[in-house]
Amino acid sequence: MDEAKLREEICRFGRSLFERGLTPGSSGNISLRLDDGGWLVTPTNASLGFLDPARISRLDGQGRLLSGDAPTKEIPLHNALYESRSGARAIVHLHSTHAVALSMLPEIDPRAVLPPLTPYYLMRAGQTALVPYFRPGDPAVADAIRSLAGRYSSVLLANHGPVVAGETLEAAVFATEELEETAKLYLLLRGLNPRHLSPAQVADLVKVFGLTLPEHDHDHG
């Protein structure tokens, strides 16, 4: 896909996420890795619902701005996930309500913030790690993500929101949406002792779909 089409794709998915209330105001950002090692990334203080393809930030492989508006201040967190996930070509970061709420709960396991509630959460998002709170744009968040050693494609920033990598922008968006919906399910079912997928059921998904789950043998129940 050429760069013009990639710019349009960022705008199309950004508008879809914004219009469905998955990231309010000017929150959230999207990036794409290009074949030359550079990036396309949404600008700082830009609403994902009103992106202009021509104003999307174009960065070189060292993160220097080549054209477009100034990029999101969350560049360090995108860069850290790209560095640790070699297959990642797109990253979506949202401030989606249920995932943010989940990040504040005291009982969640930082190695796997959600139990295995549905097969599609595991198939799209894998497991999700919790990263401690850092102020937005703090370069220290990059070190926290690098410390996960690339085991996770989806990360939840405490009191902030999800960051999800994918092989394509579509894959990253779908995984982010699955994470948000599963967080919503968790909050709806909290305290009701719901049935989770059993270890055998999770192992079957891992085998059939070739999943790599860093905590798939972890007992959540």
Within-domain flag for 135: yes
Written as tens digits, the pLDDT of the chain (221 aa) is 799 999 999 999 999 999 999 999 999 999 999 999 999 999 999 999 999 999 999 999 888 999 999 999 999 999 999 999 989 999 999 999 999 999 999 999 999 999 999 999 999 999 999 999 999 888 899 999 999 999 999 999 999 999 999 999 999 999 999 999 999 999 999 999 999 999 999 999 999 999 988 854 444 44
Within-domain flag for 221: no
Per the structure, the count of domains in the chain is 1
From the candidates 120, 133, 152, 186, give the one annotated as an active-site residue.
120
pLDDT at 215: 59
Tokens representing residue 135 in the block: 């102020």
| Residue 186 is a catalytic residue | no
Q: What range defines the domain where residue 9 resides?
A: 3-209
We report the CATH number of the domain holding residue 144 as 3.40.225.10
Within-domain flag for 219: no
Of 212, 21, 167, 41, the C-alpha closest to 100 is 21
Within-domain flag for 113: yes
Within-domain flag for 189: yes
Give the span between the Cα atoms of 122 and 179, in whole angstroms.
9
Residue 2, class by beta-carbon neighbours within 10 Å (0-12 exposed, 13-18 middle, 19+ buried)?
A: exposed
